[in-house]
Amino acid sequence: MAAPVAVSLLPDGFYRLHNGGLHNPGSWYYVTAEPNAGLVSLLPKSETAFQVWQLRNHLNGQVSLEVRGKPGYYLTPGGSGALAGEPLGVTQTQQMWDFGKFAGGPFTRYYLAYPEPILGKTLLVSEGTELESVIFTNQEGGVTATQAWKFAPAA
């Protein structure tokens, strides 16, 4: 008997992760890696910044995100680890993320969650209270729009 295969929500490929209004690209901020500092922030679209991520599907519906242009650098919990309110970072250790869908149709967004509950709560990748930060937040109910991201295919 064959083992069940998890259905991928998005195919493996290169994506820009962003927030912002559906029909207002000027309001979009992109998840941007800064490998030298190991930080991840939100910045306006830039062709010279590390804003393209290679999504790879893994077992159990998990994904990893590697920075294009910086092989071996992956989205990961920041230096303080997986704690609510802490910024995310990039390291050379591949991190698997739980990956899910939020809404549907033209409003489809996706969320990334740390694969292990911390203190009994799920940690989601979220916009920080300061516009230019990407942090973890505790999740106690459904996913909200600030915890969901558009994945735009990148050339």
Which candidate, 63, 86, 72, places its Cα nearest to that of 134? 86
For 96-113, how does the pLDDT look when each residue is reduced to its tens digit (9 = 90+)?
999 999 888 888 899 999
Q: Is the predicted pLDDT of residue 119 greater than 60, yes or no? A: yes
Which candidate, 19, 69, 73, places its Cα nearest to that of 44? 19
Q: Is the predicted pLDDT of residue 73 greater than 60, yes or no? A: yes
Per-residue pLDDT averaged across 11-32, rounded?
90
For 26-40, how does the pLDDT look when each residue is reduced to its tens digit (9 = 90+)?
889 999 998 777 889
Q: Is the predicted pLDDT of residue 1 greater than 60, yes or no? A: no
Residue 66 corresponds to which tokens in the numbers above? 């590697």
109: β partners? 102
Q: pTM of the full predicted structure? A: 0.88
CATH topology of domain 13-153: Trefoil (Acidic Fibroblast Growth Factor, subunit A) (2.80.10)
User: What H or E segment, with its residue span, contains residue 126?
Assistant: strand 122-127
Q: How far is CA 68 from CA 48, 58, 75, 152, in A?
A: 11, 18, 11, 14
